[in-house]
Structure 1
Amino acid sequence: MVFVTDVNDNYPEITIKSFKSKIKESVAMGTVIAVISISDRDSGDNGHVDLSIKEQLPFVLNKSSEGYFALLVSEPLDREKFSEYDITFTVTDRGTPPLFDNETLTLQLLDVNDNAPLFPKSFYTIPVMENNAPGSLLSSVTAFDPDLHENQYLVYFIIEKEIVNMSISMLFSINPEDGNLYALKTFDYEREKEFLFHIEARDSGVPPLSSNVTVHIIILDQNDNTPVIVAPWRAHGSIVEEVIPRSTDKGTLIAKVIAIDADSVQNSRITYQFLQITDATLFSLNQYNGEIRTMRMFSYRDPRHQRLVIIAKDNGDPALSATVTIKLSTVEHVVKVFSETTEIPLEYDIFSDLNLYLVIGLGSVSFLLLITILVIIVLKCQKPKPAKPTPPCRNSVISQRNSTLADSTLVSSDAYWYSLFLAETRKGKVVVRQPIPKGAEYIVSSIPRSTGLTETSESTASTLQVGNG
């Protein structure tokens, strides 16, 4: 009997019974992808074969009782990570040396709408310069969807809301296909400084998935407002007239220029400068607060009229400015001016109407009281005198040589009688002497102090006729 010993001279064989070349990425774990059978025509260990695949793949081989191998999904699949797999099956016998064979299958994953649109940022800050043209492009707010075909086709929307009683869709517009954001109106920083709203991106899958992002529109200030000078106040035009004493000391505040600017930050910062000045050595100007002060005292050589042109300029680019002209007139001290024309003190001029009425009233009452007293005295002096000589009355005069009576209105002299009148002036009492010829009769009057030199009153005067002795 002859025994033939088997030699491992046949390669193992792989037979694919079934295979799904395309599956959805959302397929469940344990799903059978392929059924495989293996064989070897040798005998013994040479005909005993094993089947294997790479360990890194999300699949596993499961041997059935019939000797078939099933390729199962062992991990979740994600088309966005791996869109297809090349699965290589290796069959090896146990002969010496071992023989093997390979079979490669390509598995393609089908896309499922399992990814929502993704924005690169969670918050968009978009600066917009004011005075923009309506319809101008502000920015592009785009999202990305890793899915395929309709699952990645995105449509953009502005989530509706109201801003200052106005719909956001009346202010901004977005292209639904590419996410370009446009302004529908011209913005003014002085009225609107910022807007906050949301943009949504939605895919076209079934069911559709979406996500949104916050958009912050910041309106930037443009130097579009000219400074406005509010002080010194100008009734007409841009010229202001001021009067200052010529005796003004060094460092005295003459005027203060104040300008305001409706812009913000750098564009609203005002600086002041002299544009024109009659004498640069007389005045200084603080460039930050606009105060104009004297640098020295005025001299007799300085002109009485000074012209100052001040420019208020903002810090914008380009800078805007406004000017004001101040005409300064220097005068002497007010008291000296009045002393040349009148003797009335300056304090009288500052009386109010009420004070003037009070002075007039008090003066009238005092005058009436004085008249009453004088009338009473005159009436008493006119009573019949006794034969016996009596001392002279207060308001009468006895003519004697070199005789003088206190508070009398007549004084005798060698050749002439002189009548003394009391005249009231603002500087005091003045004695006025009036010569009277000899041999005449004299009417002597006691004139109240409050009357003028030419006034006489029969009710207030006592008379005495005196002959030439």
Structure 2
Amino acid sequence: MPFSWRGNPGARSLLLSLLLFATWETQSGQVHYLVSEEAKHGTFVGRIAQDLGLELEELVPRLFRVASKGSGDLLEVNLQNGILFVNSRIDREELCGRSLECSILLEVIVERPLQVFHVEVGVKDINDNPPVFPESKKRIIIAESRPPETRFPLDGASDADIGVNSALTYRIYPNDYFALDTQNNREQTSSLSLVLRKSLDREEIQEHSLLLTAIDGGKPELTGTVQLLITILDVNDNAPEFAQSIYRVRVLENAFNGTLVIKLNATDPDDGINGDITYSFRRPVSPAVLTAFIINPNSGEIRTIGKLDFEENKLYEISVEATDKGNIPMAGHCTILVEILDINDNAPKIIITSLSLPVREDAQVGTVIALVSVSDSDSGANGQVTCSLTPHVPFKLVSTFKNYYSLVLDSALDRESRANYELVVTARDGGSPSLSATASVSVEVADVNDNAPAFAQPEYTVFVKENNPPGCHIFTVSARDADAQENALVSYSLVERRVGERALSSYVSVHAESGKVYALQPLDHEELELLQFQVSARDAGVPPLDSNVTLQVFVLDENDNAPMLLPPGAGGGGGAVSQPVARSVGAGHVVAKVRAVDADSGYNAWLSYELRPEAGGARSPFRVGLYTGEISTTRALDEADAPRQRLLVLVKDHGEPALASTATVLLSLVDSGSAPKTPSRMSIGATGPELALVDVNVYLIIAICAVSSLLVLTLLLYTALRCSAPPTEGACGPGKPTLVCSSAVGSWSCSQQRRQRVCSGEVPPKTDLMAFSPSLPPCLSSAEETGERESETEHLKEPRQPNPDWRYSASLRAGMHSSVHLEEAGILRAGPGGPDQQWPTVSSATPEPEAGEVSPPVGAGVNSNSWTFKYGPGNPKQSGPEPKKQTQVSFLLRRKGEASQPRQ
């Protein structure tokens, strides 16, 4: 049920009270902060704009400013974010002395409309001052007649800190004669005394040296020490006395060295040696007194020994001690107050008050940078001061009042050419000779956002493996901005666009500060091969500037898809399919074909087939092509073979690790008279009258015609090259053909392989060269054959570079029915008298270790006619008893049975 203020006078009274209290708090503007002394420049104090209820956008238009009451520029406010921070060193002891409460009072003034706020910043004391004794060494003279338990007062140490940081404790190293006693009185002050523990014997020990240590209560604790030198003297019962306790003397500050200041005279009623008096400064003696005056110990005359300076010290307080020469000397004391009289000997003084630092580089000419005031403590012409500015810089001094100047901008600034100026202000008085003084001011040129972030290059290419973990880091972009501070603070973001039906932000993200690019989900090479997008870099200036960089992310394939068997016809799957086979077929007859595809790329999609033997069965009369999947007979069938043959074909890819699938083929052996008229080559999944196969001889004729066309074109090209090439020394020589073969990652590489020509000799070489024809689809018409040959001709003229992300072509997936069987052929002769080598064919890959390895042009499709052969045990998956040297050669394609012509 919603709350209603109507009919509820108590609630309305409470609301009115809260509003009045909030209004009083806002108008009173009492904000309290706390900061530690000695805080570094830029230390955060508080969000003054937020605490005073002011919007950041109002600070500059409403002329927000902060004035400190007698504390200088210790604190400052950043007008961009409204944060109060430490601007200069804060010394609580210098600011408040020994006061327990120390605060900096700020007056915040906001105009349009005018508002005044009072802010109090408390300064917290830290333990930064160690205890300090009045002197480092303290001499104490004690008569040996003093009884035990006699107390000798000591001057305690002072600590400039307050509270627990100034709580002092004392300790003295163990001593048989003296102990330390500290007593606190009602006034919360402590008295420090040295207590005599046992009687002294000057003849045994004439002097005692003790180390007194003062420890404050801060963390970490600080210490101070003083060395107590205790001299034991004989008894003397009369001390010298002065005529008065305080003497006052005046001396000009230009007095010559050795000028007499005063002559002292003390009297001692004792007789003899106990009445002889010596004069000295009473310890501790200030360094100012020691550098300015000297005392004659016998006559008591005090004279000047250095130059006196009225501006440095106007009054000297000298404590003098008169000591007799008795067995136990006794001393009398007096104080001399020396007043220094001023003369004209002072150089001018310069005070520079900063107003608008740093200066923006787009500041207008005439902008006031700082106020300069000069003064001279002298009088007359010696106190008249003139100012000048050196060296020649884009600034000048403008006189505003007597001894007051304004430092203004004289010409335009450019931070990119110069970011800082060191100015020297010289003040010279009118004396003769004149005295001068200089002051330096560093003017920093503030940056204006006039440079956009820049990348090292306009485009980056990134490679990422598919199936990456979500949120993985794939790349880091980095842009630099020539500006400074906030204007150079770069943040990164994606330039959003659509990738298909999804947004780009669903694939990748970029970290706004570091520029790291992350993949938000696993990438799939089969779904997305290239992800191209832009990353924007924007600075924090006002107005902000930005620039873009393009990232091309290539998704690399991994073997994450197993081979998939093509179903027979429009339906079915990888189940068993029955195929009738006549018993009269001979060896090498193709009876069926297994077809499979792989969604991966490169070697991950290169499929191989192998026949799995039946457990406990006899050797099967069938075999399967290693790369074609064609099932053919290894021998003639006889009556001893079982009428039903069940073959298990394993289809594997070449990925790491390899993935595999299994297909089952059922073959029914029937007599020749009862066998149906079906093509000798049958593929699993090829059903229906529209896919009726023709006899294999038709395909052989088509393949031979295609190879003949290629041979004629090759001979023509060779003749043209021979005519244009320079003559060679002999008829036989090494050629430089270009061999196109597959690399390990599925891309094609062009390499120069050494090839030996077929040369004429006394005995003609054998003509059984291996001929490979490109695979042709079944049932091609004459027009299609002609177009296919023309495309092959164009392919030979202008070789095409295949896409690195290759797949098996449609003809390879559907089954290459026009493969040429060369089980009986294949004699490659390197030259006359050379050894004959038996090479394997595509359709009959022999598992023997001495057999060669055939590498088809992976992914080339039906236009491929280049093959790479490696003879010997080159297959790492095969092993043999005797390794043979692997030989890789290339050769020309021609029809089987055509005699080789000797080359001229």
Per chain length, whose mean CA-contact separation is higher, i.e. which structure has more relative contact order (CA < 8 Å, sep 6+)?
A: 1
**TM-score normalized by structure 1?**
0.50
**TM-score normalized by structure 2?**
0.28
Structure showing greater radius of gyration is 1
